[in-house]
Structure 1
Amino acid sequence: MTFAAVIFDFGGVITSSPFEAFNRLEAARGLPQNLVRKINTLNPDTNAWALFERAEIDAAEFDRLFAEEARALGHELDGASVLAVLAGAVRPAMVDALDRLKAEGYRLGCITNNVPTGHGAGMARSDDARDEMEQIFARFEHVIESSKAGVRKPDPRIYLMMCKKLELAPDACIYLDDLGINCKPAAALGMHAIKVTSGEQALADLGRALGMSLLN
């Protein structure tokens, strides 16, 4: 199979997984592990997280609704605290891979579910970190952010939006995401989907699909 483009998720692929940060927050608050993840899987199309990622509510409303969802499960956790830890650490090897792929002629896209507070997962960062994010996003030919598009993964429409921007058929694209639920619709459309469990694994799998080495 010959591929023309590689499409990346951002949080959990280019950066470390936000779930790691959520687990640290949960441990610090004495809350059950994976509570945030559990809250976000309940009513996945209409919960606070989904509404915020589609920019249908603002940060204050997210804070309130998320706290209500946590309270319904018997726990106290405000949405603002979750957003505060959302930023993941950049994986330098993934950024290097973007440059190598571009040098080899592959077109690069990014589809990210984010909130209306910035690029990536939409989190608070220092000025230097924001500059770093902008430099990374500049490497992509096209970026689709859920908070601007009004649609979020795993809705198949967001993948088709990227294909339209690239003017490519889905089967000419590779898609990487750390969530299986987001990989499934990409694969169903014909993309070569790679579920990311670590940066090294992602680069190894991507390299095999492209017939090149992306590991240093």
Structure 2
Amino acid sequence: MVTGVLIDWGGVLTTSLTDSIARWIVADRIDGDHYREVMRRMIDHAYGNGDGESIVHALERGELDGAAFERDLAARLLTVDGVPPVAEGLLERMFAGFDRVEAMYDMLRDVRGHGVKTCLLSNSWSNTYPRDDWEEIFDAVVISGEVGMRKPEERIYRHALGRIGLAGEECVFIDDIEANIVAARALGISGIHHRDADTTITELESMLRLTLRRA
């Protein structure tokens, strides 16, 4: 019986990162192909089988501040004019295209209304979160940069489970990065690989045996 929902923020409770990045590439005149190659290497190392620590690991755990990461990333990128983009405010501009997905927030309100525990479990990139109504939605909030742990590390899942007082087998985890779901499943947590709100809510309804709002 699933009685707890752990859920990611960016790309799950918001519109996709891909869409936000696409807007930023146009606005900042970024060389898109070069950006994608740079970021592919960084993300593959951070979430795949890369050896050792990386700048992404440090950023997500809060060991490196956003300004330092921006300077490092800007030095790796190019605009279409062949020069690095402005480093200051780079992360804010990259994520400026995130919009709330209201159907997902409505779903979480319904989930809590049925007595299911909810916990935000998010890897932060030194970004600001819109927390206005979080008390209505979450029983607990676990943000990587605030707790010094990151997905897919086992310890952050155990920390989140402890915050809501449930065992892994009692919870489902919703995330848009498959590596994070694989790590959660190793602890007995069920996983939903998020692609869009309607599909995720349908899968969650089946797991919880509930009818949940979609609009």
Alignment TM-score, normalising by the size of structure 1: 0.83
Of residues 173, 176, 179, the one that matches 1:178 is 176
Partner of 2:75: 68
Alignment deviations for residues 126-149 of structure 1 (CA, whole Å, 9 cap, x no partner) = xxxx4xx32136521111110011
1:185 positional shift = 0.5
**Structure 1 residue 18 corresponds to structure 2 residue 25:** no
Gapped regions of structure 1 (runs ≥ 5) = 120-129
1:22 positional shift = 1.3
Partner of 1:59: 66
Partner of 1:122: none
Aligned residue identity for 1:99:
R
1:162 positional shift = 0.9
RMSD: 2.3
Partner of 2:161: 163
Partner of 1:99: 109
**Larger mean Cα displacement after TM superposition, 176-185 or 61-70:** 61-70
**Larger mean Cα displacement after TM superposition, 84-93 or 185-194:** 84-93
Structure 1 residue ranges (4+ consecutive) displaced by more than 6 angstroms after TM superposition: none
**Structure 1 residue 89 corresponds to structure 2 residue 99:** yes
Partner of 1:34: 36
**Structure 1 residue 209 corresponds to structure 2 residue 203:** no
1:65 positional shift = 1.4
| 8 A Cα contact 2:14 2:101, kept in partner | yes
The CA distance in 2 between the partners of 1:70 and 1:42, in whole Å, is 17
Q: Would the alpha carbon gap of residues 7 and 213 (structure 1) be closer, same or farther in structure 2, given more than 3 Å must change?
A: same
The CA distance in 1 between the partners of 2:127 and 2:107, in whole Å, is 27
Aligned residue identity for 2:95:
L
The CA distance in 1 between the partners of 2:83 and 2:202, in whole Å, is 40
Alignment TM-score, normalising by the size of structure 2: 0.83
Figure out how many residues of one structure are paired with residues of the other and give that number. Answer: 201
The CA distance in 2 between the partners of 1:105 and 1:75, in whole Å, is 53
| 8 A Cα contact 2:24 2:93, kept in partner | no
1:61 positional shift = 0.9
1:188 positional shift = 1.2
Aligned residue identity for 2:5:
V
**Larger mean Cα displacement after TM superposition, 42-51 or 153-162:** 42-51
The CA distance in 2 between the partners of 1:150 and 1:186, in whole Å, is 18
Alignment deviations for residues 60-87 of structure 1 (CA, whole Å, 9 cap, x no partner) = 211111123447xx98445532432314
The CA distance in 2 between the partners of 1:19 and 1:137, in whole Å, is 28
| 8 A Cα contact 2:109 2:136, kept in partner | no
Partner of 2:2: 3
Partner of 2:49: none
**Structure 1 residue 113 corresponds to structure 2 residue 115:** no
Gapped regions of structure 2 (runs ≥ 5) = 47-51
